[in-house]
Amino acid sequence: MTILTPHPGFDAVCDPHEAACHGFLHSLESGAAVDGPGMRFVFFLSGCQFRCLYCHNPDTWKLHAGRRVAVEDLVAEVAPLASFLKFAGGVTFSGGEPMMQAAFVHATARALKDRFGLHVALDTQGHLHDRVTDDWFDPIDLVMLDIKHIDPARHLALTAQPLQPTLDCADRMVRLGKKMRIRYVLVPGWTDAPEDIARMADHVARLGPAVELVEVLPFHQLGASKWAMLGHPYALADTPTPAPEATEAARAVFRARGLTAF
Per-residue pLDDT tens over the stretch 174-229 = 999 999 999 999 999 999 999 999 999 999 999 999 999 999 999 999 888 888 88
Rounded Cα distance between 258 and 113, Å, is 32
Pairing of strands 39-45, 23-32: antiparallel
Determine the pLDDT at residue 3: 33
Determine the pLDDT at residue 64: 86
Q: Name the nearest CA neighbour of 216 among 249, 240, 239.
A: 249
Q: Name the nearest CA neighbour of 67 among 14, 10, 113.
A: 10
Determine the pLDDT at residue 16: 44
Determine the pLDDT at residue 32: 81
pTM: 0.90
- What does the pLDDT look like over 9-33, one tens digit per residue? 223 334 444 556 789 999 999 888 7
Task: Give 21: exposed, middle or buried? Use CB within 10 Å, 0-12, 13-18, 19+.
Answer: middle
Rounded Cα distance between 130 and 132, Å, is 6
Q: Are 169 and 148 in contact (CB under 8 A)?
A: no
Determine the pLDDT at residue 56: 87
Determine the pLDDT at residue 161: 97
The fraction of the chain above a pLDDT of 70, given in percent, is 92
Q: Which domains does the chain carry? A: 21-255 (3.20.20.70)
pLDDT of 247 over the 70 cut: yes
- What does the pLDDT look like over 142-188, one tens digit per residue? 999 999 999 999 999 999 999 999 999 999 999 999 999 999 999 99
What mean pLDDT do residues 56-68 have?
90
